[in-house]
A and B are shown apart, each in its own frame.
Chain A
Amino acid sequence: MALANDPELIIADEPTTALDVTVQAEVLRLLDELRRERNTAVLFITHDFGVVSEIADRVAVMYAGRIVETGRTEEILTEPAHPYTRMLIDCVPVMGEPERRLDAVPGRPPAVNRLPPGCAFADRCPRVEADCRSGEIPLEEKRGSLQARCLHPLQPGEALFGEVITDRPKGRRHELPEANASGPDAHGPLP
């Protein structure tokens, strides 16, 4: 139905999230073919990094209403500059890596009608410093194709907590401090 008007842009909002993997693969293939044949642009909204790497040329990561990082797919997925992107990637189980630790992102997104000054992710960020909490943080070029809205971005190969990782730790996953115990709005219902 979206193709009936021969559009120049297709916006696909989580089109495969509720589907089985086999059907999902089929839909992605179809969308990719159409894009090539008709030279259509596709804006693909998803939370699945596997799907992202399959279909996207470029990725924009959103947090609390703003784009916090954007860049070419491979660069974002392997060496993101923004800590939020890193944490989002780390909390998803990946096929073929059953030993991978799942590090849940602690805390919750801020209420969008009460955004804090500075970086909206500051309260949940392990790299937060005093300057993160004030002023407007612009989306700036960091390295390669990456643009990030962050004052203390990650360098390639740098772990979230400062140390340089050679190999991601293996073994039992652990639980991060629990989400709902922090934050001023933890009591209320979610939007």
Chain B
Amino acid sequence: MSEDAHLIEMRDLARTFGGGRTVFGARKPQLTAVRGVSLDLAKGETLGIVGESGCGKSTLARMLVGLDRPTAGGIRLDGEDLSSSGTKALARRVQYVFQDPVSSLNPRQTIREILEAPMRHLLGLGRAEREARLAKLIEDVNLRPEFLERYPHEFSGGQAQRIGIARALAAEPDVVVLDEPVSALDVSVQAQVLNLLDRLKRERGLTYVFISHDLAVVESIATRVAVMYFGEIVETAPARAMFKAPLHPYTKLLIDSAPVPNRKRGTLGGDSGELPDPYDPPPGCPFAARCPRVEADCRETMPPLETKNRGENHRAACFHPLTWP
């Protein structure tokens, strides 16, 4: 994979909230949601981002689509720095699908108005062109044309999520960032939406960033996975390699915690550990307190995200990675 094949490059991306001082000069608490994430996105891949709640997945996604600005670091799209080009150019290329399908649609607009907005504002299409695209779009997401005149509350969760996907596709983006797109859906509907995403990706040559806490879903859809913990990426690898033999103990904990049909765990796993206090981050590896393989050096410095003995694409931020036969 050559360097210029990267669609999006994130370099040392960080986002802090709070901070500063009150009018009386007392320090306000500061929280770092994302701390120095560097990640590349290749064209045509589906990058799964997994991690527990509060690990910074959504903040990272929001920065990717320009809903939030990084405190430090930069995002480059096709080599062009996004912080200078403005949100409109970004929105044209990168679109977002929200977690809650119904509440992310404007209840006072018909589906037609919702889907036409990006075509009008981002692509500047005329009425006839919009009409033609709408018909194609609504068919692509398996909805019927008469749905265009309805309002969001008339739809089920699965239908509303397909409208959310159609809205993201209306601007003809290259990258779609999906933030837990199926978490709020019923299992039978979840499969429909996953299959739809799979087909749209093939038909339109899309690149996905797929955020989820459901590892089984990520494994089935992602080509590459990045595991986040406490605002940092602790492991990234091709999906198959990661699920077969993770390097980072945290990844293993996540995989072992996911319930699998017909697998009864002898001892039900699950540790009582929690994330470190984000207002007072530890100096070393943030997972050290929960890690079964922790040693003294883990508590002193944060291990860098680097390749281990598993090839160029499998990286982990761990001093004592797991070994597999």
- Interface residues of A, Cβ cutoff 8 Å to B: 20-29, 32, 47-54, 74, 77-78, 87-89, 91-96, 98, 100, 102-105, 108, 172-175, 178-181, 187-190
Contact = CB atoms under 8 A, between A and B. Distances in A.
Contacts of B196: 175
Contacts of B264: 53-54
Contacts of B213: 20-21
Nearest to B256: A25
Contacts of B214: 93
A157 to B, nearest CB: 15
Q: Chain B binding site: helix, strand, loop or mixed by DSSP?
A: helix
Given A21-B258, A53-B261, A104-B188, A95 B243 contact: yes
Interface of B: 52-53, 142-144, 146, 153-159, 186-192, 194-196, 198-199, 213-217, 219-221, 239-240, 243, 253-255, 257-265, 268-273
Contacts of A103: 191
Nearest to A172: B198
Given A21-B254, A22-B257, A91-B187, A54 B268 contact: yes
B144 A93 contact: no
Contacts of A26: 270-272
Contact of B268 (A29, A48, A52, A77): A29
7 contacts: A53-B262, A88-B188, A94-B216, A95-B260, A102-B194, A104-B195, A180-B143
Nearest to B240: A98
A98 B254 contact: no
Contacts of B215: 21, 95
A179 B192 contact: yes
A15 to B, nearest CB: 13
Contacts of A178: 142, 192
Given A49-B261, A189-B155, 12 more contacts: A20-B213, A26-B270, A26-B272, A28-B270, A50-B261, A54-B259, A78-B262, A93-B219, A98-B239, A98-B240, A174-B195, A189-B153
A157 B240 CA distance: 28
Contact of B261 (A25, A52, A102, A188): A52
Contacts of A20: 52-53, 213
Nearest to A189: B154
Contact of B259 (A51, A87, A108, A181): A51
Contact of A95 (B190, B199, B216): B216
Q: Which of A20, A78, A89: most chain B CB closer than 10 A?
A: A20
Contacts of A53: 259-264
Contacts of B53: 20
A22 B270 contact: yes
A190 B191 contact: no
B25 to A, nearest CB: 39
A93 B263 CA distance: 15
B243 A22 contact: no
Contact of A173 (B195, B270, B273): B195
Contacts of A189: 153-156
A23 B273 CA distance: 9
A103 B190 CA distance: 10
Contacts of B220: 93, 98, 100, 102
B180 to A, nearest CB: 11
A180 B261 contact: no
User: Which 10 residue pairs spanning A and B have beta carbons closest together?
Assistant: A50-B259, A25-B270, A190-B156, A29-B268, A26-B270, A91-B191, A93-B220, A104-B191, A104-B192, A105-B188
A97 to B, nearest CB: 8
Contacts of A95: 215-216, 219, 243, 255, 258, 260
